C-alpha cells in the first residue's frame, strides 16, 4: 500500500510539473518563435494528441471516428493564448465560422475565450462568442465555453449569462478542483444546459483549488451528482478509469450525456466504454499551436511521457498515428 501511495504521489507531482511547463510563459514564447526548435523537436509527440494540422485534416479524421460510433468535439489550436491582438482573434473566429459552415458541422466545439478576444477586452470576447454561438445554433452545434483558470472564470460566466438566454446551444466547462465550483455549478445548472465537467488543469494554490488525489475524485463525483440532479446535459470529461468506475457504481453513467476523453489519451479506456454501449465523445484539437494541448495531455497521464519520448526517438513521419488506429 505504501508503495502504491508513493507511486501515486510521484505521478501527481509529475503531472503538476507538466502543468507548470504548459503555463510557463518562457516555454510558450520559445514554442511560438519563428523556426522554433522546441516545436520541431516535439512535433512527433504532438501527433499522438493533435488530430490534424488543419481543418480539412480534422474533418477527414473525425469522419473516421464518427464511423466507429464516437462523437467528436472540435477545438482549434489558434494563435497564442493571451495575445492581445484583435486581428489574430478575428482569424480564430473566422476559423470557427468556417468549421461550422462545413457539412456536416461538428456537433460540439470547445471555445477558449482567450483566443477570440478576451486578451483584448471582455467586450470583444462577448461579441465574438455571440457570432460563433449564432452560427452554431443554425447548424445544431453546441458551443461549450472553456474556463482555464480562476482569473477568467467570472468573465466566462458573465458571457454565458449574457448570451445563454439567447442561445440555448451555449454550454460551459466547470473545473472540479476549484473551491468555488460548487457555487458556480448551482448558478449555471438548469434543465437542458450542457455542462462539461473536468478535474481542472491549471496549477493553483491550496487556497484556491484541490490538488489531484482522492479528495478531488470525491468532489468530482459529488459535483456530477449535483449537476445531474439539476437536469443538465452532463459530459463526464475525464480519462481517470477509477473515477469512471466509481461513477458507474453510483449509477451516474446511465444518466450522463456522454463520457468524454481527450484525443489520444487512454483510447483503450474509451473503447471499453463504447463497447459497453455508453455514449462516448472525443475532444479533438487541431491546428499548429499545440503546445498547451500537448503538455496538458501529458499532464493528464504522466506515464505517457515515455510514449512521447519514444515518438520523438523514432519520428514516425508527418502523418502520425491515424485516428482509426488509436480507436
pLDDT by residue (tens digit) across 193-205?
999 999 987 767 8
- Contacts of 310-315 with CB under 8 Å at 24 or more apart are 311/44, 311/45, 311/47, 311/48, 312/41, 312/42, 312/44, 312/45, 314/44, 315/44
Mean pLDDT of 262-268: 90
| pLDDT on residue 80 | 57
pTM, two decimal places: 0.88
Question: pLDDT over 70 for what percent of the chain?
Answer: 92
Inform me whether the pLDDT recorded for 62 exceeds 60. yes
Q: What is the mean pLDDT of the chain?
A: 89
| pLDDT on residue 150 | 60
Q: 52 φ, ψ to 5°?
A: -165, 165
Cβ atoms of 178 and 208 closer than 8 Å: yes
- pLDDT tier, 174 (very low <50, low <70, confident <90, very high otherwise): very high
| pLDDT on residue 93 | 96
CB atoms within 10 A of CB 220: 25
Q: Which residue has the higher pLDDT, 273 or 40?
A: 273
Q: What is the CA radius of gyration of the chain?
A: 19
Class of residue 100 by CB neighbours under 10 A (exposed 0-12, middle 13-18, buried 19+):
buried
**pLDDT single digits (tens) 141-164:** 999 999 876 668 999 999 999 999
Residues 25, 189: Cα–Cα separation, whole Å: 34
**pLDDT single digits (tens) 104-129:** 999 999 999 988 988 778 899 999 99
Q: Which residue has the higher pLDDT, 26 or 315?
A: 26
Mean pLDDT of 30-42: 87
Class of residue 32 by CB neighbours under 10 A (exposed 0-12, middle 13-18, buried 19+):
middle
Q: Which residue has the higher pLDDT, 7 or 59?
A: 59
- pLDDT tier, 23 (very low <50, low <70, confident <90, very high otherwise): confident
- pLDDT tier, 179 (very low <50, low <70, confident <90, very high otherwise): very high
* Residue from 165, 127, 125, 166 nearest 146 by CA: 125
Cβ atoms of 172 and 148 closer than 8 Å: no
| pLDDT on residue 221 | 98
Q: How far is CA 326 from CA 77, 87, 282, 318, in A?
A: 21, 36, 12, 16
Inform me whether the pLDDT recorded for 6 exceeds 90. no
Residues 136, 170: Cα–Cα separation, whole Å: 9
DSSP character for 235? Answer: E
Amino acid at each position: 500500500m505504501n508503495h502504491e501511495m508513493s507511486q501515486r504521489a510521484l505521478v501527481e507531482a509529475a503531472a503538476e510539473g507538466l502543468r507548470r511547463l504548459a503555463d510557463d510563459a518562457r516555454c510558450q514564447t520559445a514554442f511560438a518563435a519563428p523556426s522554433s526548435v522546441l516545436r520541431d523537436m516535439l512535433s512527433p509527440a504532438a501527433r499522438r494528441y493533435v488530430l490534424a494540422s488543419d481543418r480539412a485534416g480534422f474533418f477527414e479524421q473525425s469522419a473516421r471516428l464518427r464511423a466507429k460510433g464516437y462523437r467528436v468535439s472540435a477545438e482549434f489550436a489558434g494563435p497564442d493564448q493571451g495575445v492581445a491582438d484583435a486581428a489574430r482573434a478575428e482569424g480564430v473566429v473566422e476559423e470557427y465560422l468556417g468549421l461550422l459552415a462545413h457539412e456536416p458541422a461538428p456537433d460540439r466545439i470547445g471555445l477558449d475565450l482567450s483566443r477570440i478576444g478576451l486578451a483584448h477586452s471582455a467586450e470583444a470576447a462577448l461579441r465574438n462568442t455571440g457570432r460563433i454561438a449564432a452560427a452554431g445554433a443554425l447548424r445544431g452545434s453546441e458551443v461549450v465555453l472553456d474556463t482555464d483558470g480562476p482569473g477568467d472564470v467570472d468573465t466566462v460566466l458573465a458571457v454565458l449569462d449574457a448570451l445563454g438566454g439567447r442561445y440555448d446551444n451555449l454550454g460551459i466547462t466547470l473545473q472540479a478542483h476549484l473551491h468555488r465550483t460548487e457555487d458556480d455549478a448551482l448558478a449555471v445548472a438548469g434543465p437542458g444546459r450542457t455542462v462539461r465537467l473536468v478535474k481542472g488543469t491549471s496549477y493553483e494554490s491550496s487556497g484556491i483549488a484541490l490538488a489531484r488525489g482522492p479528495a478531488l475524485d470525491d468532489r468530482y463525483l459529488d459535483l456530477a451528482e449535483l449537476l445531474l440532479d439539476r437536469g443538465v446535459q452532463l459530459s463526464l470529461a475525464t480519462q481517470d478509469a477509477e473515477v469512471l468506475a466509481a461513477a458507474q457504481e453510483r449509477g451516474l453513467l446511465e444518466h450522463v450525456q456522454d463520457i468524454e476523453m481527450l484525443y489520444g489519451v487512454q483510447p483503450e479506456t474509451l473503447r471499453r466504454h463504447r463497447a459497453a454501449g455508453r455514449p462516448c465523445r472525443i475532444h479533438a484539437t487541431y491546428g499548429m499551436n499545440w503546445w498547451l494541448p500537448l503538455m496538458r495531455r501529458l499532464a493528464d497521464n504522466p506515464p505517457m511521457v515515455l510514449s512521447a519520448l519514444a515518438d520523438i526517438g523514432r519520428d514516425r513521419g508527418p502523418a502520425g498515428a491515424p485516428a482509426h488506429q488509436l480507436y
